[in-house]
Structure 1
Amino acid sequence: MALRDSDPVEVGGYRIEDRLGSGGMGVVYLARSASGRRLAIKVVHGQYADDDEFRARFRREVSAARQVSGAFTAPVVDADADASRPWMATLYIPGADLGTHVREHGPLSAPRLRELAAGLAEALRDIHRAGVVHRDLKPANVMLAEDGPRVIDFGISRAAEFAAADVLTQTGRVMGTPPFMSPEQFSSPQDVGPAADVFSLGSVLAYAATRRGPFDSPSPYETAVRVVEGEPALDGVPDELLPFVRLCLEKHPKSRVTADELLTLLRDGGPAA
């Protein structure tokens, strides 16, 4: 995307080279460090700079991303949550996100779906071991890097041990992307834990296999009802992947597999009878 006249020349001392994308909360730029390393810099929109709750949320995003930076995420290089427009720089990951790839090239093949499932299960395992719940796993937050998928954007994540006391989730807001949210994110958001990410993983895999979410509806309200009460539409999901997706999409959190268990099942060839 071409730079605009209103875009900064540099952020935090990093030279801006291009726009990578823009969303409701901010703009992501391609930048370069003094040594020539390419970075993705997320700069929040100016209207949120005076919002104390937003700044707290952004600080949490930076903290969560730093905790889980590793082989399955985009490592944080630098950040400033106190800048006039808060920003965070991560290593740039070449490649498209899963949503863009599926829209442009269609559903993934069965072997690639299995690789995606294993890669995302590994990513969630590491995220959960760090004590973090992502809460917004969706195709747009999965980058298809050459060495496997990377999970990005920890904007609404939170520490699992502080779930019940998190004031940012006690404002009555439903936070997430409805087609890829878990039932508990709608019905009891203060009780959301690692199992919610596993449910989202099942929806992401179904999307990658069929080019549609298992609970899609033109109405966000109807989508929410389907997530909480309805059966997932899994026509088109390859038979070999279907048992894994169903295990992820169990309605009750305690009935779902963990990321570790999913990895074991994928490695061993399938769920036990």
Structure 2
Amino acid sequence: MVAAELIAGSVFAGHQIERRLGSGGMGTVYLAKHPTLPMRVALKVVGAGRDDPEYIALFRREAQLAAGLDHPNIVDVKDFGEEDGALWMSMRYVPGGDAAALVGTGRSGVEASRAVHIVTEAAKALDYAHEHHVVHRDVKPANIFVAPGDAGADRVLVGDFGIARRTDPAATQIDTGVRTFTAPYAPPEQRSGGRVDRRADVYALGVTCYELLTGRLPDAVLADRERLPAGVGAVLAKAMAGDPDERYGTCGELAAALADAVRAESARAEQKRRFGTRGRVAAGAALALALVGAALAWSLRADAGSRASTEPTGAAGVSPRCYFTTEVPTGDGYHVVLPTTNDGGRRCILSYVDSHPGGPGTPRATPIEGVRALQDALRRCYQRELADSDGDYSTATGLAVLYVQDLHGLDRDGVFGPQTSGAMRWPRYRDAGGEFESCVPIGPA
């Protein structure tokens, strides 16, 4: 009879043992050299219960079921047999460890995009097994192996079909009476000894995904405290529904819904970042500033093309800094309508007080033409929907300017200043008739 523990350097069934990888209810797994091929394999040897006919039946069935599944995301069986009264099975060795090890490296799980990739690849393997009438029945991070792949993407393989079960009507089932499963990942019907189908694996994959994203199992207490985004939480709640009929029909459906939810959350986060954080000054900011200076210099010379109004001044001495506009040629037969400033181009605030220098209760005699030009650019060139009436600078226009600043990687140079002006794509018009033609960056004549 084989020893309870194989030691490094020993030979078992022709395999030279290198080290112990792990153990579970269905045996101990070793890293070993294949007897004849230049490769290393994961060698599973039945440990505790090896003299129990029920465990022996389960082990043989695992080898037969796994050997019949040929899929790039399933750990393939190389060989199996019996040695000194002990059953063994050699499988592809997957360097890099399993998903359980990934969860253990951080307190809050793995990055969402990586979790989606792992779940998606595992779903491919499980759906393939289901199509071949095999339900895994023990899906968990420890049975999902993650190895370095091409171009940095994880290579994901599902293994350990130790308690898998055939579901096709023609299959002859051997009910050994052994109820081996990992309780936190098993659906209610499996824990109660009821009939299971592919939706049991959907449930377990949902629990696995929850653990990948949060670093914890979804028990009732933690679930109430967890801060998963609403869309992601809804996907996992459906996957882990107590009633199998309320779950996703396939693991692939779960993976697709998860990917959509994570993408939607990422889009919301990006939008929040753009409108709620300071942008960084782009490498081309200096060039943009130079273009603004050139455009402003042109505006000082282009008196005939300039539409200027007398600068109003209120009792408090507040003066609008963006009050003038000028037509700047950008090519033969084309021009842009560009806001200019009365403070040397330092910045333009465009606030309500600027628009109403006498105070909020003072009627405004003339619109701020610079605001009109700005709003026209935001609508035409950046497809921003603005609720502001022309010439009024309020929340909608302000948020749209922040969008442009973050889009171009600009610092917040006032609400609207020379760096932003230099980066903006102002609408271009035909000289004859003023028809809108295209959106181009501003520049000197």
RMSD: 2.8
Could you tell me how far apart the structure 2 residues matched to 1:121 and 1:156 are?
Answer: 18
Q: 1:253 to 1:8 in 2, by over 3 A?
A: farther
Q: 2:55, 2:6 → 1: CA distance?
A: 26
- State the partner residue of 1:138: 140
Question: Deviations along 1:85-110, whole A, 9 cap, x unmatched?
Answer: 10000010001211122112341111
Q: Is the 8 A contact 1:114 1:241 kept in 2?
A: no
Q: Deviations along 1:207-242, whole A, 9 cap, x unmatched?
A: 11111111278xxxxxxxxxxxxx955823344533
Q: Whose helix fraction is larger, Structure 1's or Structure 2's?
A: 1
Equivalent runs, 1:35-74 vs 2, <5 Å: 35-45=37-47, 47-74=48-75
Shift in Å at residue 51 of structure 1? 1.5
Q: CA contact under 8 A between 1:214 and 1:233: conserved in structure 2?
A: no
Work out which of the residue numbers 224, 236, 240 in structure 2 matches 1:249: 240
Q: 1:182: Cα distance to partner?
A: 0.5
- Aligned-pair CA distance for 1:82: 7.3
Which of 178, 181, 184 is the aligned partner of 1:176?
Answer: 181
Deviating beyond 6 angstroms after TM superposition, the runs of 4 or more aligned structure 1 residues are: none
Aligned residue number for residue 315 of structure 2? none
Larger radius of gyration: 2
**Separation of aligned partners in 1, 2:244 and 2:195:** 10
Distance 1:262 1:239 in 2: 16
* Residue in 2 that maps onto 1:105: 106
CA–CA distance in structure 2, aligned partners of residues 81 and 64 of structure 1: 17
TM superposition shift of 1:11: 2.5
- Greater RCO (CA < 8 Å, at least 6 residues apart): 1
Instruction: Mark the CA change 1:127 to 1:159 in structure 2 (over 3 Å): closer, same or farther.
Output: same
The Cα of 1:59 is off from its aligned counterpart by 0.8
Q: Distance in 2 between matches of 1:265 and 1:118?
A: 10
Q: Distance in 2 between matches of 1:37 and 1:153?
A: 20
Task: Please name the residue that 1:237 is paired with.
Answer: 228
Whether the aligned pair in 1 keeps the contact of 2:202 and 2:254 (CA below 8 Å) is no
Using the TM superposition, give the Cα deviation of residue 174 of structure 1 relative to its aligned residue in structure 2, in angstroms.
3.5
- Which of residues 199, 202, 213 in structure 1 aligns to 2:217? 213
Q: How many residues align?
A: 250
Change (3 A) 1:233 1:55: farther
Question: Retained in 2: the 8 A contact 1:198–1:259?
Answer: yes
> Which residue is 1:159 aligned to?
166
By how many angstroms is 1:7 displaced? Answer: 6.4
CA distance 1:98–1:264, shift in 2 (3 Å)? closer
Describe the superposition over 1:5-59 as per-residue Cα deviations: whole angstroms up to 9, x where unpaired.
Answer: 75672232222112112334422111112332110000111x5332211111111
Supply the distance in 1 between the matched residues of 2:170 and 2:140 (Cα, whole angstroms).
21
Report the Cα distance in structure 2 between the residues aligned to 1:78 and 1:185, rounded to whole angstroms. 30
CA distance in 1, matches of 2:115, 2:7: 41
TM-score by length of 1: 0.81
Q: Which position in structure 1 is the counterpart of 2:27?
A: 26
Distance of 1:75 and 1:21 partners within structure 2: 18
Deviation for aligned residue 1:244: 2.6
Checking the alignment, whether the CA contact within 8 Å between 2:73 and 2:157 is kept in structure 1 is yes
One-letter code of the match for 2:17? Answer: I
Does the CA-based 8 Å contact 2:106-2:215 persist in structure 1? no
TM-score of the two chains, using structure 2 as the length reference:
0.51
Matched residue SS, 1:245: helix
Stretch of structure 1 that moved more, 148-157 or 254-263: 254-263
| Amino acid in the other structure paired with 1:43 | V
2:80 counterpart residue number: 79
**Distance in 2, Cα, partners of 1:212 & 1:233:** 13
Secondary structure in 2 aligned to 1:22? strand
Match of 1:198 in 2: 202
Cα distance in 1, alignment partners of residues 54 and 235 from structure 2: 38
Counterpart in the other structure of 1:262:
254
Q: Deviations over 1:105-156 (max 9, x none)?
A: 3411111121122112112111111211111111111111224321111111
Contact 1:16 1:29 in 2 (8 A): yes
Query: Percent same amino acid among aligned pairs?
Result: 34
Aligned residue in 2 for 1:94: 95
What corresponds to 2:127 in structure 1? Answer: 125
CA distance in 1, matches of 2:170, 2:52: 22
Q: What secondary structure is seen at the aligned counterpart in 1 of 2:227?
A: coil
2: CA distance, partners of 1:5 / 1:261: 43
Q: Distance in 2 between matches of 1:94 and 1:265?
A: 30
